[in-house]
Amino acid sequence: MTTVVYGIKNCDTIKKALKWLDTNEITYTFHDYRKDGLSSQLLTQLMTTADPQLMLNKRSTSFRALSAEQKENLTNETLSQLFLETPTLIKRPLLITDSNHLLGFKADQYQAFFNE
């Protein structure tokens, strides 16, 4: 099974998720939006796999920095543009395997996910 974790390296939640994966000896690839980039092609793939509305990290500083007008117009199309401009708006981590995905990190969810 191929596992890819998407996020930014300095995120505390990413650090917890990667530590959990390492501890449980799960092989993965880490894709850092800042280092590895976020192309429109990759974003389209991610938004096809996960619900774009659920991908939006409403607790992030980046979200709080959006204007009221931007927050009122959060269609999938506008989210796509916002995600490309500011990848930190994407909830972290986004973990994708061959057949499934998870948004965010909770140890018990990861345990259940990898025991399926």
Catalytic residues: 11
CA distance 25 to 85: 34
CA distance 45 to 89: 17
Residue 8, classed as helix, strand or coil, is: coil
Tokens of 27: 């092989």
Tokens of 70: 């931007």
